[in-house]
Amino acid sequence: MSLNAEKMTLSGEFVDLRPLCISDADLTFKWRQSPRSLLLNRGANSAWQQGEWIAARPANEFNFIIQLKDGKPIGMVSLTDIDMINLRGEPGRFLIGDEDATKGIPAAAEAMLLLYQLAFDHLGLHRVYGAVAEDNRRMIKWQLYMGMTKEGRFQDHYFINGRFQCAVLFGLIEPEFHKVAAPRLKAMIAAGHMKIAAPT
Amino acid sequence: MDTRSIVTEIIFKALRQLNDELAQGKKIEISTDTKLFGPEASLDSLSLVSVVVDVETGVSDSFSKTVSLTDDIAMSQQVLPFSSVQALVDYIIQLLDKE
Question: Identity (one letter) of the amino acid at B54?
Answer: D
- A100 pairs with which residues across the strands? none
Sign for the pseudo-dihedral over CA of A35, A39, A40, A44:
positive
Chain B hits for A191, CB-CB cut-off 8 Å, are 37-38, 70, 75, 80, 82
Identify whether A1 is part of a domain. no
The boundaries of the domain holding residue B21 are 3-98
Q: pLDDT at position B4, please? A: 95
Q: pLDDT at position B25, please? A: 81
Q: pLDDT at position A192, please? A: 81
Does A138 contact B at CB distance below 8 Å? yes
Report pLDDT digits (tens) over B46-89: 889 999 999 999 999 999 999 989 888 888 888 888 889 999 99
Identify whether A171 is part of a domain. yes
Q: pLDDT at position A153, please? A: 95
- State the average pLDDT over residues B22-41: 86
Chain A hits for B78, CB-CB cut-off 8 Å, are 195
Beta-carbon separation of B80 and A183 below 8 A: no
The Cα–Cα gap between A108 and A14 comes to 10
Q: What share of chain B is helix, strand, coil (3-state, %, to 5)?
A: 55, 0, 40
Mean pLDDT score across all residues of chain B: 90
**Closest by alpha carbon to A173, among A94, A113, A92, A119?**
A119
Does A36 contact B at CB distance below 8 Å? yes
ipTM over 0.85: no
Q: What is the pTM of this model?
A: 0.88
Q: pLDDT at position B79, please? A: 82
Q: pLDDT at position A68, please? A: 95
Identify whether A158 is part of a domain. yes
Beta-carbon separation of A145 and B49 below 8 A: yes
Regions of chain A with pLDDT less than 70: 1-6, 35-42, 195-200
Does B39 contact A at CB distance below 8 Å? yes
Identify whether A64 is part of a domain. yes
Identify whether A55 is part of a domain. yes
Cβ pairs A/B, distance under 8 A: 102
Q: pLDDT at position A22, please? A: 94
The boundaries of the domain holding residue A20 are 10-191
What CATH number should be reported for the domain holding residue B84? 1.10.1200
Q: pLDDT at position B94, please? A: 93
What CATH number should be reported for the domain holding residue A76? 3.40.630.30
Identify whether A142 is part of a domain. yes
Identify whether A85 is part of a domain. yes
Does A195 contact B at CB distance below 8 Å? yes
State how many domains chain A has. Answer: 1
**Does residue B37 sit in helix, strand or coil?**
coil
